[in-house]
Amino acid sequence: MSGKMISDKNLARIAGFCYLIVIATGLFSEVFVRQALRVSNDALATAHNIQTHEMLFRWGFVADLINFVVGLPTILIIYYLFKQTNKLLLQLAVSFAIIQTAIISVNLLHQISPLLLLSNATYLNTLSPDQLATLSLLSLNIQAQGYAIGLVFFGFYCLLVGYVIYKSKFLPTILGILYALSGVCYLVNSFSMFLSKGFENPLFVYLAIPIFIGELSLCLWLLIKGIDTAEMVKN
Examine residue 65 and state whether it is found in any structural domain, yes or no: yes
Sign of CA dihedral 65, 26, 34, 95: positive
Other Cβ atoms closer than 10 A to 86: 16
- pLDDT one-digit tens code per residue, 115-136: 999 998 888 889 999 999 999 9
The secondary element (H helix, E strand) that includes residue 17 is helix 2-27
Mean pLDDT, rounded, for 183-209: 90
Examine residue 86 and state whether it is found in any structural domain, yes or no: yes
Examine residue 119 and state whether it is found in any structural domain, yes or no: yes
Examine residue 191 and state whether it is found in any structural domain, yes or no: no
pTM of the model: 0.89
Q: How far apart are CA 25 and CA 33, in angstroms?
A: 11
Which of the four pLDDT bands, split at 50, 70 and 90, describes residue 216?
Answer: very high
* Count of domains for the chain: 1
- pLDDT one-digit tens code per residue, 54-74: 999 999 999 999 999 999 999
Could you tell me the residue range of the domain that residue 25 belongs to?
A: 2-150+216-229
% of the chain exceeding 70 in pLDDT: 94
Q: What is the pLDDT of residue 19?
A: 96
Q: What is the pLDDT of residue 103?
A: 95
Examine residue 23 and state whether it is found in any structural domain, yes or no: yes
Q: Are 178 and 158 in contact (CB under 8 A)?
A: no
Q: Which of 79-93, 155-169, 219-233 has the lowest average pLDDT? A: 219-233
Which of the four pLDDT bands, split at 50, 70 and 90, describes residue 3?
Answer: very low
Nearest-CA neighbor of 175 among 134, 144, 215, 207?
Answer: 215
Examine residue 15 and state whether it is found in any structural domain, yes or no: yes
Angle at 79 between CA 191 and CA 189, to 5 degrees: 10
Examine residue 142 and state whether it is found in any structural domain, yes or no: yes
Mean pLDDT, rounded, for 133-162: 96
- pLDDT one-digit tens code per residue, 31-61: 999 999 999 889 999 999 999 999 999 999 9
Examine residue 22 and state whether it is found in any structural domain, yes or no: yes
130-143 b/e (C-beta count within 10 Å ≥ 16 → b): eebbbbbbebbbeb
